[in-house]
Amino acid sequence: MLSKPIKEENLEAFLMKTKNNMVNRNHQHEIRLSKQKVNSQLTKRLDAVALKFYANRNPYSNETSDEASDKTLKPLAKSMKYLKKVRKIDIQCQWSRYMTNKGLKALSNSLQGLKSVESIAMDFIGCTWMREGLGILREGLKRLSSLQSISLYFSDWWKSKDEDLRVFGEVLQRLSPSLRSVNLKFYRCSSISDQGLRSLGESLKKLTCLRFLSLDFSECKNFTNEGLGNLGKDLQKLSSLQSLHLNFSFSDHITEKGLKILGECLSKLGSLRSVNLDFSNCFNIPDKGVNVLREGLQSSLEAINLSFYSCSNMSEKSLIMLSKDLPRFSSLRSLNLNFGRCRITDKGLQNLSENLQKLNTLQSITLDFTNCQGCSDKGLINLAQAIQKLDSLQSIGLNFSECSSITEKGLKVLSDVMKQDFNNSLQHLDLQFKSCDNIKDEALRSLGEGLKALGCLKSFKLNISKCKITNKGLNHLSEVLHNLNSLKSLTLKLKT
């Protein structure tokens, strides 16, 4: 008699069987401020290092009970001016429909007296009525003379334009002597163009002490090769830069030419140790684009994160060229490659596997081949056998979701590799096999056997939703997870 499909009550029973120490915990100190207790909460925690204000509104629902507005931001700002010793401020007000320039101005005024602040982060994603955000914040931010780290997130401002980047650049120049970290996000701001990027670059190149830079322009679709090239030329003057993150996803006008200029500029950043480049959904980047970009990557890099997700103009030639270049990164500790929804096959995975096993210093690896229909058990097995030879691995992430040719056979070999326990070093494991139609109960049995050997595993994520799993397979996994005493964080997606 066949086992019945998983039902809602079975999932609940499964989770109840796991130990309490498997539940995700947030150890970060936070202060949650309600509308009624803004003042009292702040004045009681004058010694707080981090202050957080949450709007907590889901933009896809009608739930607005905790939504922030000018009425909540103003008393918050009034109380903040008394926090003379605070060093870190983190304000998050996403999707607050009733926050306007008035509330933001009150917040900006409160910042002017906080001379001890070293780090500030503000997230106003989805606050559509703050139409002059950076212009209003400018005066408050410019007076934070001790500031070392700044993070600002904006999106859906239908009036966000090149002028905002010029204003932000002006703030950066005022803060330049102490500034070490800059994190800027403009999400879906379609009015920003190459001109704004040029203004920002002119200011960034003067931050000679900058060590960390993150610029996220995802779905800002007006950037071209000229804008990317000019930015690269400005960034190459940051002689102290150690970590760089650029996100130009959905930039349809960026091609091989833009990546070539960026690669040439990256080659001149001798102090760079970490690079994170996201060109997901850039449909006009060909294989040659990846080739000219990887030529500019310094061999001294310790972390490489490259995403070309859904770049439909790419084939596995990109992955093969990049793979053959991996051995020269002799100090590489972290590798993250995303070629999801690209034309990758087992041949590409074989080339990656052959070169991957030569990275003896690697501690973390994340590979995403979502919906790469040319990937099968053969490719997964080659990868698993290569990973087995990496003795220093502490974190593994593999995503083969929607790869219909992945079966129990591939997972069994992966489980056999896990039994080697990586010299007791593996602490984090993330396996994504969503919508892999040929993964069944036996795969979970094999996976469970592999998990038993991971005596130091602290975090485990597994996505087998929309696979052919029944209660029988779920019970196998439950018994193993119940006995993993080291596990602190567990994330399971099992919906059928």
pLDDT in tens, 11-31: 555 555 554 434 433 333 333
Residue 412 lies in a domain: yes
- For 182-199, what is each residue's pLDDT tens digit? 999 998 888 899 999 999
Residue 230 lies in a domain: no
Answer yes or no: is pLDDT of 393 > 90.
Answer: yes
Q: Which residue has the tokens 């030639």?
A: 317
Quick one: CA dihedral 312, 315, 316, 322, positive or negative? Answer: negative
Residue 420 lies in a domain: yes
280 pLDDT tier (thresholds 50, 70, 90): very high
How far apart (Å, rounded) are the C-alpha atoms in residues 387 and 390? Answer: 5
* More confident site: 472 or 94: 472
Residue 125 lies in a domain: no
pLDDT value, residue 157:
56
pLDDT value, residue 26:
35
pLDDT value, residue 422:
65
- For 38-88, what is each residue's pLDDT tens digit? 444 444 454 444 445 444 444 444 444 455 677 777 777 777 777 777 888
- The CATH number for 465's domain is 3.80.10.10
Residue 332 lies in a domain: yes
Give the range of the structural domain holding residue 365, as residue numbers without chain letter.
1-19+315-496
Core vs surface per residue 43-67: b (16+ CB within 10 A) or e: eeeeebebbbbbbbbeeeeeeeeeb
pLDDT value, residue 52:
52
Residue 471 lies in a domain: yes
End-to-end CA distance of the chain: 20
pLDDT value, residue 8:
46
Q: Per the structure, how many domains does the chain have?
A: 1
Answer yes or no: is pLDDT of 263 > 50.
Answer: yes
Residue 277 lies in a domain: no
Residue 222 lies in a domain: no
pLDDT value, residue 74:
76
